[in-house]
Every structure is written in C-alpha cells, then in structure tokens.
C-alpha cells in the first residue's frame, strides 16, 4: 500500500517561515561551497546558519589505529568501550585504546557495500542481565534485510549466548546500500531503530509505504513486539512497528538528554542531508520531498521541497556532509552541553550544532584538519568524547 501522505501528529515545526529570536551567530556560515541546487529553505535558519567557535581549548588523540570497520560504539558500566566491527565481530577497549576482548559468535552478516555488523547498544539493565543488542545486514534467499538481534554477553566476555533475532525489516533487497541502522533505548526501555530505504529506485519508494518497514523509524519492545501506543497500531495494511516514515538513510539517531525528544540525522542524496526532530506518525517526505538531487544531477521525482502533510527538516546541508552518526554532547566541555554532534563521512569533520528551542542557532566544524570519515561516537564515563573512523582509528577528544 502506498501511503497517501498522512497528516503528521503534533508537528512542532512550522512548514513556512519561522522567526528565530536570540540567534547566536558570530561569523559567516561554515559552508562556503556552492549548493547543488537553487532550492530555497522553508524558513530562516534552516540551512547555512552562522558559525560559532568553541572558546574552550580541547585536544584530540588517536588511541587506536587497528579497528576493523568500526560502526557502532557504546559505553559499558565500568567505563570500557564496546565497539562493533562491520565484518562481523565486536571488541571491548579500555579508554586508553587497548583492545582487551574480542567477541565472536554472531549470526552471519551480509558484508557487502554498506552492509555488515552495524550498530550496538546495551540493555539499560545490563549490570543485571548482560544483554547486548545490535543491528546487522541479514543475508537471505531473497536478498538482505536490516535485522535487530540480542544476546547475553558471556562471563569471559568473548561470546554471546542465547542469541535471538527480534526484528527483520521488509521487504528484503539484493542491493548492499542504505540500511540506516542506529539503535537507541527510550526512557521506558523500548527500542528505536532507524531503517534505511535500501538506496535503489526500485525500492526506495517503499519509504512512503506503511506495509513496508524500510525507510522508517521503528519502535519495538526488547522482545521485538510493536510498542503498544505506536501511531499506526490497528491501521489496515500498516506495520505496527512503524513510528515515523519517509527516510532515506537515517545513519544518526539520538535522544535529547534533557527533553527526551528523538532526533535523526539523514544521509541525503546529492545535497539534502537533514536534521529532523521525530514525531510519532510523522512523515518526513522522502523520496517525494527533498532538498537534494540525484547523483546524476537530475531532480528526485518532481523536485519538491515542501508538501502538505510532511514535516520539514529542522536543518539541512547542501552540499552534503554525509551524516554517519550523531550524539547529544554530555561531556566535560561545558559550552558544548546538549549540542548535537554529527559525524560527517564525505564532510570529513564533526559538525557541532548549537540548539535552542528546537532550532539550530550556530554551526562549527570540529577536527576538519584530520580528514577522517566519522562513523561512531560516544561520551565516556570520564566525560571525554570517543569517536571511531572508517580508517580504523579511535579518537579521544577531551578538554585541554
């Protein structure tokens, strides 16, 4: 069933121009390159906001150079770091960068293109139940699917026990692109999962189809069941796991530590990367609505940037920075508190966004000189930022 562009619930974001007071702009926008299009933003401050510059001195250190395709990172209760490797294993590292454990025994992954062993997170009650959750590209006869699995970390921390797959996205697809695949827990212990559109033109329209779970934000229990108050529960031909729809490649997903709001970072086409505030039942437009164009330079469908019944991004980038991950900063640098950090892949920097009242007030590019593709980030128990890159490095970013 193709969705008839449902009216979103409690949008919270105006679709026309917005007056933003208290703009803390201290310089010209950080983006100086020409945009791919002449598309106009829907409201002031939606793109190319003024720049800000950190006043606090910080330093970055490479503490490991031998990670194998790091994709997800989370912090264990004792402060060590659990990092997933795209080829199909996980490793536990100290905050000095030493690998102390390698975890094996995962289900086979579809290690092709953007597929593999992807995000990782631990149960909020990990101290008691030792449960680990992860997403991966699951192979199958009819193609690969984004899947969510869980297992209990063994006493010696080298394997997972009682492994169970709790969710599989549909339809399957034989391509290797755009799984999305971030996994976060809400305050009730349920799971939000971002599911990509799988890239190719013969499937990406499913992002607007409620009978498919590609191109969606999924909301499930730890047993893989739909959360009872999900917005499409009980609707004919709609998957009850769906929380929001209309996404291309949602590689970033995070919950605001103060408000509890869910935010998403969207890897757009050529331009059109997005930052979205996620509302239950909200339709975020892809592929009907986008600020990007095809890689060929052609319009995406009719080249529409605004459409009734869809939610505008809080912010977008053109040219792309290629968001690979995102977090809300809760570490030792006070001026960064509750700022959004987005790891850029093609953009080879970490974008720091100052947020107030759900608006972006300023942008800074961090660590651009390192020219890394930033794939995963977490704030350690020590208040430092730890970030993994596609080059296999683990960085520690700390207050000087």
Instruction: Tell me the domain boundaries of the chain.
Output: 58-399
Closest CA to 156 of 105, 116, 119, 222: 105
What average pLDDT does the chain have?
Answer: 94
Closest CA to 44 of 67, 22, 68, 70: 22
Residue 141 pLDDT greater than 50, yes or no = yes
Residue that the structure tokens 């995070």 belong to: 254
Residue 398 pLDDT greater than 60, yes or no = yes
Give percent of the chain with pLDDT exceeding 70. Answer: 94
Q: What is the pLDDT of residues 65-109, one digit of tens each?
A: 999 999 999 999 999 999 999 999 999 999 999 999 999 999 999
Q: What is the pLDDT of residues 340-373, one digit of tens each?
A: 999 999 999 999 999 999 999 999 999 999 999 9
pLDDT given for residue 191 in this prediction: 98
Residue 25 pLDDT greater than 80, yes or no = no
Q: Kindly give, in sequence order, each residue whose CB lies less than 8 Å from that of residue 336, ignoring residues fewer than 6 positions away.
A: 54, 56, 329, 352
CB of 304 closer than 8 Å to CB of 289: yes
Residue 19 pLDDT greater than 80, yes or no = no
pLDDT given for residue 103 in this prediction: 97
Entry pTM = 0.93
Structural element, H or E, at residue 129: helix 126-129
Question: Reading across the β-sheet that carries 252-255, which strands appear in turn?
Answer: 252-255, 262-266, 273-278, 315-317
Residue 6 pLDDT greater than 60, yes or no = no
pLDDT given for residue 26 in this prediction: 72
Q: What is the CATH number of domain 58-399?
A: 2.120.10.30
Q: What is the pLDDT of residues 106-136, one digit of tens each?
A: 999 999 999 999 999 999 999 999 999 999 9
**C-alpha radius of gyration, the chain, whole number:** 20
Q: How far apart are CA 293 and CA 285, in angstroms?
A: 14
Beta strand pairing call for 323-328 and 315-317: unpaired
Q: Which two tokens stand for residue 262?
A: 């869910």
Q: How far apart are CA 119 and CA 179, in angstroms?
A: 11
Q: What is the pLDDT of residues 273-305, one digit of tens each?
A: 999 999 999 999 999 999 999 999 999 999 999
User: What CA–CA distances, in Å, run from 38 to 118, 299, 314?
Assistant: 35, 12, 19
């Amino acid at each position: 069933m193709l969705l008839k562009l449902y009216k979103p619930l409690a949008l919270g974001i105006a679709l026309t121009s917005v007056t933003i007071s208290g703009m803390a702009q201290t310089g010209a926008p950080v983006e100086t390159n020409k945009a791919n299009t002449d598309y106009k933003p829907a409201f002031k401050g939606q793109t190319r906001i003024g720049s800000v510059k950190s006043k606090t001195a910080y330093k970055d250190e490479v503490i490991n150079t031998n990670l194998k395709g790091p994709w997800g990172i989370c912090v264990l209760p004792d402060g060590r770091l659990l990092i997933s490797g795209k080829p199909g294993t996980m490793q536990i590292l100290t905050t000095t960068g030493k690998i102390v454990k390698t975890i094996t025994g995962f289900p086979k992954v579809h290690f092709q293109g953007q597929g593999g062993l992807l995000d990782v997170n631990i149960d909020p009650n990990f101290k008691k139940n030792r449960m680990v959750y992860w997403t991966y590209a699951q192979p199958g006869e009819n193609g690969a699917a984004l899947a969510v699995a869980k297992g209990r970390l063994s006493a010696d921390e080298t394997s997972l026990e009682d492994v169970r797959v709790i969710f599989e996205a549909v339809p399957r697809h034989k391509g290797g692109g755009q799984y999305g695949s971030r996994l976060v827990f809400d305050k009730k212990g349920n799971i939000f999962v971002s599911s990509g559109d799988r890239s190719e033109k013969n499937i990406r329209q499913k992002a607007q189809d409620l009978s498919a779970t590609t191109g969606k934000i999924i909301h499930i229990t730890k047993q893989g069941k739909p959360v009872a108050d999900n917005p499409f529960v009980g609707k004919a031909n709609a998957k009850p796991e769906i929380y929001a729809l209309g996404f291309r490649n949602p590689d970033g997903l995070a919950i605001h530590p103060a408000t509890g709001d869910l935010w998403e970072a969207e890897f757009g086409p050529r331009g059109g990367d997005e930052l979205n505030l996620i509302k239950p039942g909200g339709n975020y437009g892809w592929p009907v609505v986008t600020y990007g164009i095809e890689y060929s330079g052609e319009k995406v469908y009719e080249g529409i940037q605004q459409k009734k019944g869809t939610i505008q991004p809080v912010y977008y980038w053109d040219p792309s920075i290629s968001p690979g991950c995102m977090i809300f900063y809760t570490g030792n640098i006070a001026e960064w508190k509750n700022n959004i950090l987005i790891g850029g892949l093609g953009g080879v920097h970490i974008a720091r966004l100052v947020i107030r009242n759900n608006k972006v007030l300023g942008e800074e590019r961090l660590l651009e000189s390192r020219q890394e593709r930033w794939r995963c980030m977490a704030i350690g128990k020590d208040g430092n930022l730890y970030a993994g890159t596609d080059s296999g490095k683990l960085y520690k970013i700390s207050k000087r």
